[in-house]
Amino acid sequence: MSLHSSPPPITDSLTDGIGLTPMVRIGTHSNVEVLAKLEYSNPTGSVKDRVAKHLLEEYERRTHVEGSSTRVKILIIPTTGNLGISLATFAARHRYHRVICIVPERTSNDRIALLKALGVEIIRSPNEAHPEAPESATSVAARLADQLSASSTNVAILDETTFIQGAFDDLAEELIQQTHGQLDYLFVGVESGATISGLSHYLKNKLPNLKVIGVEPIDSILGDDSPVHTTSNSRIDWRIEDLGNHVVPSSLDKKAVDAWVKVSDKEAYSTARRLIRDQGILCGPSSGAVTAAAIQYAKQQPSENHSTHEYRSVVILNDSAQNYTSTLLNDEWIFENDLADEVMIKELEYLSYDRYRAASVEDLQLPAAMTITPSTTISRALDLMYEREYSQLPVVHANNKKLVGYVSLASLEARLNQGTSHPNDQVDSCMFSFKNAKSSGVAYQLITPDTSLADLAKFFEKNSFAVVTDVNRKWCLGVATKYDLISFLHRRQIL
């Protein structure tokens, strides 16, 4: 295998785009250079694409050798999410009729939604269930396979304990070639143990001095001496998806792991957000965990070890932040679950509150609002917006001047271009009505001169402009946009 400098060719299958992922330098800590292998660059956004391709090809090769003339009709996949996404994506080309995924409760809603979009049937299992427990993913998969097989249906259970040998050889070879064999530490997040075991076996044959470090959540027991956690009735769980286990799976060769680092949920999520914000590395929480582990491990090594030689670490960034929009990328969720460290808290508080210095909408010094009535023609409304360079105009009642709605330049132009409205039509035929919005369940958010700029900024996350009124929403006092907010920050020199 060799790395290519030219663009990949046109192919007939997504699986041809698996592998050859980038590696980038993300910093040096205590004289240890840290490189990130961006496995989220694979077609479905995770390292599990490599596993899925290997499992499907190996299963079909074996069934063909065994003389099976009928393809498997149903796939059952015990998974935390990514392997199910990968297998479901590639299974369509292999003509599987149904895919059933058994996923833990901690799996993000974003990944569940993606699995459903792929046509996958979802069964949930408790986060802390042991493999031998009847409600565990492995037990449910086995029972379901027995039931479906009894009805003469072809069924296969695929997970990281089946046909896994050789699945990570390409990844290991890429690591060697990209680092030119100059690699001292490899940090891998561990759940089933298949990835770290496969990489360690391959790499240590060629790089005997390499240290392979396993990364797991604090409450996980993979690196512990005991093969299972205590039988306490207390619920032991963690937020980091795709990492950790309550038992040691058969797919983990603990002898292949030189050391273990435990990482807290807070360290994992905060580090992932820092990678996104500071370096544009769009990775998930497990990637934050392995990066935090690499930094933590480098700082804990005796300083004399690094005095004459700069060491090199590689972290495997498992999957994409796009699978965690409702969790990792959601500031409110991060705060609700106490996953922001002190640095992240200060950054978010500054962006949300501190830089506005208790200012309110009144401090924007908005010009008096220009308004129109419902009987104003579309032609007149457009003339006013062109003349004043406005994008919106508030619409007020002709008699009491109370705010009733608004029109936008873009919507009026679109209606004229499409022929659904004409220049002499009145704007009440095409304006956005606050009365109609209320009846349809859309909440009206009151913006007054006393509204804090922090709240206004939050309003602009979902809206392009704000109509400023009195507290009784009777008088239209002005129109604010995100541009006004940015101009204010610029004037105060706090951007």
Question: Is the pLDDT assigned to residue 151 strictly greater than 90?
Answer: no
Q: Bigger pLDDT: 95 or 107?
A: 107
- The residue ranges of every structural domain in the chain are 14-45+165-352, 48-157, 361-491
pTM attached to this predicted model: 0.82
Distance CA 212, CA 258 (A): 5
Residue 302: both structure tokens together: 């005796």
Residue range 48-157, CATH number: 3.40.50.1100
75 pLDDT tier (thresholds 50, 70, 90): very high
- Neighbouring residues of 67: CB distance < 8 A, sequence distance ≥ 6: none
pLDDT band at 233 (very low <50, low <70, confident <90, very high): very low
Q: Note the pLDDT tens digit of each residue in 287-337.
A: 999 999 999 999 988 765 555 678 999 999 999 999 999 999 999 999 999
Q: Which CATH superfamily is domain 361-491 in?
A: CBS-domain (3.10.580.10)
Tell me the angle at which helices 378-388 and 409-418 cross, rounded to the nearest 10 degrees: 130
Q: Which residue has the higher pLDDT, 162 or 438?
A: 162
58: exposed, middle or buried (C-beta count within 10 Å: 0-12, 13-18, 19+)?
middle
Residue 27 has pLDDT above 90, yes or no: yes
pLDDT tens track for 245-290: 988 999 999 999 999 999 999 999 999 999 999 999 999 999 999 9
Return the higher-pLDDT residue of 128 and 257. Answer: 257
| Packing angle of the helix pair 82-91, 48-65 (nearest 10 deg) | 50
CA distance linking residue 360 with residue 453, whole number of Å: 5
User: 14-45+165-352 and 48-157 share one CATH topology?
Assistant: yes
pLDDT of 234 > 50? The answer is no
pLDDT of residue 473: 73
Confidence of residue 66 (pLDDT cuts 50, 70, 90): low
Q: What pLDDT does 64 receive?
A: 67
Predicted local distance difference test score (pLDDT) of residue 237 = 79
Q: Is the pLDDT of residue 73 over 60?
A: yes
Angle at 34 between CA 326 and CA 312, to 5 degrees: 150
Q: Is 14-45+165-352 in CATH node 3.40.50.1100? A: yes
Q: State the DSSP string of 14-51.
A: GGGG-S---EEEEEEETTEEEEEEEGGGSTTSBTHHHH
